[in-house]
Amino acid sequence: MSGRLGVFESGETYLVVRTRPLVACFLHWVLFLSIVVLTITGYYIGDPEFYYGQGEAYQAFAMAEMRLYHLYASWAMAFVLVSRFYLAFTESCNHDIKQFLPTPKNIVNAVKLAIYFVTLRGEGAHYRFINPLGGIGIFMMAVFMLTQTITGISLYSAGTGAGSLWWVLGSPIDSLLEGQQNVRLIHHLVMYFLMFVILIHVYMQVWKNSVFTESDISSIIAGYKIFPLSQIGHFADYYGLRLTEDAPAKKRMDEVSTAREKDE
């Protein structure tokens, strides 16, 4: 069983459990920083009046710099998307691709969790890894980021010249969406959709961390969560870091809890 036992002042026995590898945590924060840079630089590219650069006109290459930073951040975002997609099929991430997909089961459980988080009534199952509501939210963010990547390639290709690799990749998208104006509009609107989902994601993590004390925020930093031992056997997903691990038997949990109480 992967985890460490500990007893807090309340007398409740807690278990520190592994939720994700450190490489997944690292990729999460690279993605976070890339989205911050993309949002700031993208806003400037769309509305350059809020910043003009410094120095004389020939020194103020603000637009060129913003486009360059936007390009670098987009490459970072694409790298994370591909890397995390690969890890979602590996044992180190518990094959969690199943937890991201909007399957009928995940959708039903996500609705139940949403109702519970809003009303504190209904089913509030505990999840060691990614709960269905969070998984579908991440799926939506991934779709939005993929859309941004595709439309971004089309927008970038417009300035590279016919016959270039970027033009070959971007021109079909331009034709499909009937022009750069539509491509730019979609790219701009999806940014707001993405920001909306991210805000909900951050809010839910803070809310769960403070109300349910599931230590979600620390789990994306160090890869561990802290759960009361009494809840471990009630995980709605796999308990172990690997699929071959078994959840600890309730009898064993009761024995550990009893032993702890006697030691005190």
Under 8 Å between Cβ of 145 and 139: no
pLDDT of residue 263: 53
pLDDT of residue 125: 66
Alpha carbons 66 and 45: distance in angstroms, whole number: 7
pLDDT of residue 95: 80
Q: Which residues contact 191 (CB under 8 A, 6 or more apart)?
A: 39, 42, 148
| Range 26-29 contact pairs with CB under 8 angstroms and sequence separation of 24 or more | 27/80, 27/83, 27/84, 27/87, 28/220, 29/220
pLDDT of residue 50: 58
248 backbone φψ class: left, alpha, beta (φ>0; ψ -120 to 50)? beta
Does the global pTM surpass 0.95?
Answer: no
pLDDT of residue 241: 36
pLDDT of residue 67: 87
Under 8 Å between Cβ of 183 and 46: no
Under 8 Å between Cβ of 11 and 228: no
Residues of the chain short of pLDDT 70, as ranges, are 1-13, 49-60, 122-126, 212-214, 228-264
